[in-house]
Amino acid sequence: MDLGLRDRTYIVTGASAGLGFATAKALAGEGARLVISSRNEESIARAAAELGENVVGIPVDNADPDSAERLAATAIAKWGALHGALISVGGPRPGSALESTEDDWRAAFDSVFLGGLRIARAVARAGSEDTSIAFVLSSSVKAPISGLAISNGLRPGLAMVAKTLADELGPKGIRVNGLMPGRIATARLTELDGKSGDPDAARRAAEKTIPLRRYGTPDEFGRVAAFVLSPAASYLTGTILPVDGGALRSL
């Protein structure tokens, strides 16, 4: 299937590694032009170089109120058009609801919630009629994850914002969706498994709860994200899609 991504321009945040990088790789492989970002200048420059000549990397912090407009302006200045964005905002600091500090909650809200919303707004303003926006959320949208209280609090709200934006932007031909990665083998998940004291045992126990009996790979997520962003998914909007090997038990 031709996804229709060639010569279209997308923003991908959190793209120096993990799910963001995997999505950027899938988009670039289909001929898309990209503006990718992360907070670390060295790592985003390295990622852009690896992805090829049609990729520009810029260091920005999603919590910075100016970042969203800078990303959109870079895409327009470089390629004259913007067709969408994958908004990957990283994971808030682990911890319980009782022990996480108010500063932790505020920092995560600025980065995960407000940062994501700002980027979506900027892309909607600058994008073409057939723009597609996708938020990287989490399975915590549907069910809480132990030890990730802040994510449990913010992700469901951001999912509802994505659905609301789909309602508001649909008449303009702009699609908005969310992706719920389950246990995808990223550095973040390795870190979380390590907190158990026996990461191998934690992984084996988790895999038993997944119908496919394994963790997903970042590339598997990236291919799904690229499809959702592409013109091939032109009648898909307002959907919060699990990419989790069947782990979520709810409808």
Does the domain at 9-184+218-242 match CATH 3.40.50.720? Answer given as yes
Angle 138-10-230 from CA coordinates, rounded to 5°: 75
C-alpha distance from residue 121 to each of 13, 76, 200, 249 (Å): 14, 15, 41, 32
Q: CA nearest 228: which of 39, 10, 7? A: 10
Q: Is pLDDT above 80 for 13?
A: yes
Average pLDDT (180-199) is: 86
**Confidence band for 245, pLDDT divided at 50, 70 and 90:** very high
Supply the pLDDT for residue 218: 96
Supply the pLDDT for residue 217: 97
Average pLDDT (59-70) is: 94
Supply the pLDDT for residue 194: 83
Supply the pLDDT for residue 92: 86
**Confidence band for 91, pLDDT divided at 50, 70 and 90:** confident
Q: How far apart are CA 95 and CA 113, in angstroms?
A: 18
